[in-house]
Amino acid sequence: MTAYEIMYIIRPDLDEDTEKATKEGIAKILTDNGAEINEVKELGKRRLAYEINDLGTGVYVVLYVAAETVAISEFDRLTKINDNVLRFMTIRDEREQ
């Protein structure tokens, strides 16, 4: 398995239950496809560098996962069609273990 760092931004105008369900849904996509979530950093609501869909802020979350490419591909596919996620990025985790 390869170590990845996934950062995603959720819409700031979601109610608490929808926000929680979105975060759990994203984690479920990864774990259902064999990924192992090692660490979750919820950075909270932050100002965006530029507006996305007329929104100036977003809720930032960073995941550190160990996964095969199949899990990352499925995450990318399903996250692209999730209207609650404004942006996401997946990179290899190059931190020292």
Q: Is 31 exposed, middle or buried (0-12, 13-18, 19+ CB in 10 A)?
A: middle
Smallest Cα–Cα separation from 78: which of 12, 31, 20?
A: 31
Q: Delineate the domains of the chain, giving CATH numbers in brackets.
A: 2-92 (3.30.70.60)
Its pTM stands at 0.89
Per-residue model confidence (pLDDT) at position 94: 84
What is the C-alpha to C-alpha distance for residues 96 and 19, in angstroms, rounded to an integer? 31
CB 35 within 8 Å of CB 71: yes
- Indicate if the pLDDT at residue 49 is higher than 80: yes
**Residue 96 confidence class, pLDDT cut points 50, 70, 90:** low
What is the C-alpha to C-alpha distance for residues 43 and 61, in angstroms, rounded to an integer? 6
Tell me: the pLDDT tens digits for 53-79?
A: 899 999 999 999 999 999 999 999 999
Q: How many CB atoms lie within 10 A of CB 8?
A: 23
